[in-house]
Amino acid sequence: METSEFYEGSKLLLPYSQSTGISIDKVNFLVCQFVALMIGFPYRVILSPLRVSPTTRHLAQVLTGVLLACFCFGWQVRHLFAQTTICLAIMRFVKPGLMEKVVFIFAMGYLSMTHIYRMIYDYGGYTLDVTGPLMISTQRLTSLAYNVADGHADPSALSNNMRRLAVRRPPSLLEFFSYNFCFHNIMCGPFCFYKDYISFIEGTNHLPQTSSQSNVNSSEDYQRLLPNPPDPTSNVNSSEDYQRLLPNPPDPTSALLSKFFCALVCGVMYFVAVPLYPVTAIAEPEFAGHSFWYKMFLLIVATTLHRQVYYFAWTLSELVNINAGLGFNGYDSHGRPLWNLIDNMDIYLVETASSLKVLLDNWNKMTTKWLRYIVYERCHSTYAVFVLSAIWHGFYVGYYITFLFGGCFIFIARTVRRKIRPRFQGSANKARFYDLLTFLATRVAIAYLIFPFIILEFWKTVEVYIQLYFWFHIAGVLVALGLLAVPKPQTERPKEQ
């Protein structure tokens, strides 16, 4: 089925799509991101919190975000409105304690329904439809519900992160829809916690202690953080009155240039190099005719290039958000501004990681933070995190194969690190040799484990694994069994006095 047959976004740019060979869904996505990028500068400067009220900034977010969503996704935007509106009603009429659970079940259920529907009309396809924004919307809605619930809970029963993100005052109608439809975040995220977003809208994220670092919940709470707090006897009574007291925001030019060049390189790789070595070629009959070593080489190259798709989309989204002013995260030890609040990946650490844990910690980081906040900090189960992550992505069997075996190999890698790594720390050369081995193992592991996530289908995955003799699975089992016979390294005994 051609994309144009079921894609509900605008067809205005269809002639350009046909002339360039880029599908209309991707053309619309790029145009919307470019428009959001252009609007971001006047929003940050002209509609700065130093110039206008939070209400004006919220209205601009909602109106622009809805227009961009309608252009890119057409009538499918109704799913965003349905999910957010019903979750808002649940937050308003169900008491905290039960409310967040109902929101979680409904939001995840609605997302799951759209995933299944998409599998019916576009099985195995990668068309950019509304399921992408719905995935980010689900993160916003569920996290906000738990933010509000934590705001009503006993602080002593919460983790430090829960207390930091707790919201004592539920959002107004305008704040709620602004958070869920902000124009620079609606297309591709990255996910942002509610308190960080409100801090950005009110301009208080530029204060010495920002909302991502303190336990504050409204504009009034920030008064004590102002660099020049007003005289208590003066005629200052509203958040708008404090505009003149807010500090000037730092210049994001350096961060913008860095993100721009990174997005440019990843974009060129995506449109030029990725078609030369598509991951889908692994599932083609021609793949079986190659030698084992070439198959592994092709697997590593194809999956590495495929990551450029995500690098490009996420870096472009980070660029758009920073240009609008969202992303400031305080200052480093040298007084330089940090614009990494919603960075979604660290490309260097992903590509040079010497363990699966380091790689996963730096891949889709905002989703990892959402999973940690929603699941791990509440039930402390790594496998529950993997299950939710798989359901959030959808219902293709390939997702579950990747997450199932990924969890197993992470457990094995942790055991190796605990039992084997200390034996290589006696000298610098041994340590470097260990790091080299784990780096190479991680490159192979990520290629071997991640391709089912991309080709999606069960039998195609099994066919590829058969052609590779399930060698990495077998190696994992042998390593796990061998580790059972390896004693834990003895810790150094304290010296006798």
Residues acting as catalytic residues = 364, 393
Query: How far is residue 321's CA from residue 356's CA, in Å, rounded to a whole number?
Result: 29
CB 399 within 8 A of CB 390: yes
**Which tokens is 341 given?**
């609040």
CB 39 within 8 A of CB 183: yes
Query: How far is residue 41's CA from residue 49's CA, in Å, rounded to a whole number?
Result: 13
Query: How far is residue 183's CA from residue 315's CA, in Å, rounded to a whole number?
Result: 16
Query: How far is residue 497's CA from residue 480's CA, in Å, rounded to a whole number?
Result: 40
**Which tokens is 74 given?**
């057409």
H runs (alpha helix) in 376-470: 377-379, 382-393, 397-419, 428-455, 458-467
Query: How far is residue 389's CA from residue 371's CA, in Å, rounded to a whole number?
Result: 7
What contacts 462, CB < 8 A, 6 or more positions away? none
In sequence order, what DSSP letters do the residues of 149-199 get, joined into one string?
HHHTS-GGGS-HHHHHH--SSPPPHHHHHHHHH-TTTTTT-----HHHHHH
55-72 core/surface letters (b: 16 or more CB in 10 A; e: else):
eebbbbbbebbbebbbbb
Q: Please give the angle made by the CA atoms of 481, 487 and 491, to the nearest 5 degrees.
A: 145
Query: How far is residue 307's CA from residue 497's CA, in Å, rounded to a whole number?
Result: 56
Residues forming beta bridges with residue 345, ordered by sequence position: 363
Please report, for residues 19, 24, 25, 127, 319, the alpha-carbon distance to residue 16 in angstroms, rounded to integers and kept in the order given.
5, 8, 12, 17, 25
Biggest alpha carbon–alpha carbon distance for the chain: 84
- For 470, the enclosing helix (H) or strand (E) is none
463-483 core/surface letters (b: 16 or more CB in 10 A; e: else):
bbbeebeeebbebbeebeeee
In Å, how far from its chain's centre is CA 134? 13
What contacts 286, CB < 8 A, 6 or more positions away? none
